Amino acid sequence: MLKVEIKSFSYSDKTILKNIAFELKAGEHLSILGESGCGKSTLLHLIYGWLHLNDGEIFYGNKKLLGPTHSLIPGEPFMKLVAQEFNVMPFTTVAENIGSHLSGLDGEEDKKRIDELLEVVEMESFKNTLVKTLSGGQKQRVALAKALANEPEIILLDEPFSNIDSFRKNKLRRKLFNHLKKKNVICITATHDSEEALAFSDQILMLKNGSVEMFGSPENIYRTVADEYQAGFFDDVNLLPKGLFSSEENYGEIIVFPNQLQVPEEETALKVIVENCYFKGSHYLIQCNWKGKEILFENSKKLQPHSVCHLKYSPKSSI
């Protein structure tokens, strides 16, 4: 089990992280979700041992991880970090890059391991290609395979798919995270991608200004967002008066995702004027105006600008 307890971490006089604690069992996947500058990368670097933690403790099993002040080479041998500046050797082949982390004692076994990882990151046809000739996304996939070569017990991924084309990303994520589950590897991913966090995580840790904003299962996080910051990671957000959808005198606003608004047959209090219509493949995203306020909702059919429609709130449509 990995146990992390960070009471406080600062650069000079600026506090970067505070009051963060979680535990992960073998095979579990945690996604760290947050805006740029919230401390996601710093948290990974502390766990890996690139940064020293004065106020807090990190344990793996019964072993306390002591950080760079107690290690000649920072980083634990049972752990790998794939940073945003991925570590590849440009003047060697893809296979040689992956093989550089293997023992070299059994050539046949090393070849099998290299081929297995080439298949995981879908780089089989580039096996003998010099890394310097690859695209940024291809180099990122090589870095992922290289990190997995020695079968780490923990892998830390910092925006691991940021350079990879969308059409390839979904399949690659499925293959990579399924591989990690099969091998019982603890995985921690720092990401801006809420779709990735929801689909592949066992737990999500949402950060705001270096502190825990939310922590829990993807389903629970999505269903219990309480403000615009939290909800904004998962979709566009409408903030609407509570009383608009109830006969009770409720004050304040509620968070409404676009897929929670529908066009009913009857008239409602939410009468909007269509301004723009954006095709999303499976549906249209409709931008409209309600009393000077922008409202976004999803609809199966295209609606013409300046047309008028009524909207109904259906909270169960959220997930």
Q: Hey, what domains does the chain have and what are their CATH numbers?
A: 2-230 (3.40.50.300), 237-318 (2.40.50.140)
What pLDDT was estimated at residue 317? 53
* pLDDT (0 to 100) of residue 13: 84
Which of 265, 261, 257 minimizes the C-alpha distance to 274?
261
At 278, list the tokens.
């954006």
pLDDT tens-place string over residues 76-131: 889 999 998 878 999 999 999 999 878 777 889 999 999 999 999 999 999 999 99
Residue 11: per-residue pLDDT: 87
pLDDT of residue 76: 87
Residues of the chain with confidence (pLDDT) below 70: 247-250, 316-319
Q: What is the pLDDT of residue 248?
A: 60
Phi and psi at residue 227, to the nearest 5°:
-150, 180
Q: Which residues pair with 46 in a beta bridge?
A: none
* Burial bucket for residue 116 (CB in 10 Å: 0-12, 13-18, 19+): middle
Phi, psi of 117 (to 5 degrees): -75, -35
Query: What local confidence, expressed as pLDDT, does residue 247 receive?
Result: 63
Say which DSSP state 93 is in. Answer: B
Q: Nearest CA to 133 among 93, 162, 160?
A: 93
pLDDT at 250: 61
